[in-house]
Amino acid sequence: MRGFAIFAHVSAPHIWKLAIQQTEFRQMKGLQKLAGIAATFQGLIYIAAFVYFGAFWSYPVDGSPVEKMTYMAENQLLFSMIYFLMYVVFGVFLAILVIGMYERLKHKVNPLITIGSLFGGIWVGLVIASGMISNIGLDHAINLMDANPEKALDMWIIVSVITESIGGGNELVGGLWVLLISVAAIQEGRLPRSLNYLGYFVGIAGIATIYPDKLFTEIFGVSQIVWFIWLGICLLTEENANKSIQQTANASAD
């Protein structure tokens, strides 16, 4: 009986530790799946946006202020839905992915992970803010249309410039996040090396958008579609994912 009591006394902390590890393992595994789903949907959102603006958008660039604002008013509902999807919904998925990647990589002390995740969080805020500003700004511009189409168009141009500046045309923050977590992932041996090299390219393209040229923005958008979907598939199906998560849970428990 005494031996059993000693065994129980010694084993209880170890059993408790194993229980904590298993709980953390299940939680992190679930988070990784959510992050994988989020990344995949982000790529699909990019594709939907490209299809909409490439095949259905016929904005009269050379038209008069009345023609331009009439077109925006006639397409307000669909346009607002697409922008809500592109920015607000995308931002929610991005938040899940940023947290998921941080949890996946944080088991070792690496400042790139912390700094990169900070930029990821900032990007989430900027993206969601862009969508909200655009949709509210368009509604105000359309309401001003009957009184003064020229001022309504001026307001919409200002709203568009703000949207492009903080979340649509300037991808510096997003590029830094992708680049830094790709560097951290390759240092930690997480994710396929080819995926991380693609992340280098995507990140550099995003940083290059500080130069006012649509080409870099388009390169960033197209290459990020591949990166998001590839990353999502890896997080959902990678054979070593469970091993990686278990290592992280063990390190946290230690």
Q: For 210-232, how does the pLDDT look when each residue is reduced to its tens digit (9 = 90+)?
A: 887 788 888 999 999 999 999 99
Q: For 195-210, how does the pLDDT look when each residue is reduced to its tens digit (9 = 90+)?
A: 999 999 999 999 999 8
Under 8 Å between Cβ of 246 and 25 = yes
Instruction: Give the phi and the psi of residue 142 in degrees, each rounded to 5.
Output: -65, -35
Task: Please give the distance of CA 144 from its chain centroid, rounded to a whole number.
Answer: 34
Q: How high is the mean pLDDT of the chain?
A: 84
Give the model's pLDDT for residue 248: 47
Location of structure tokens 């660039």: 61
Which of these ranges, 22-26, 82-86, 102-106, has the smallest mean pLDDT? 22-26
Q: Which pTM was predicted?
A: 0.82
Instruction: Label residue 26 by pLDDT band (50, 70, 90).
Output: low
Domain map (residue ranges) of the chain = 2-253
3-state SS class at 133 = helix
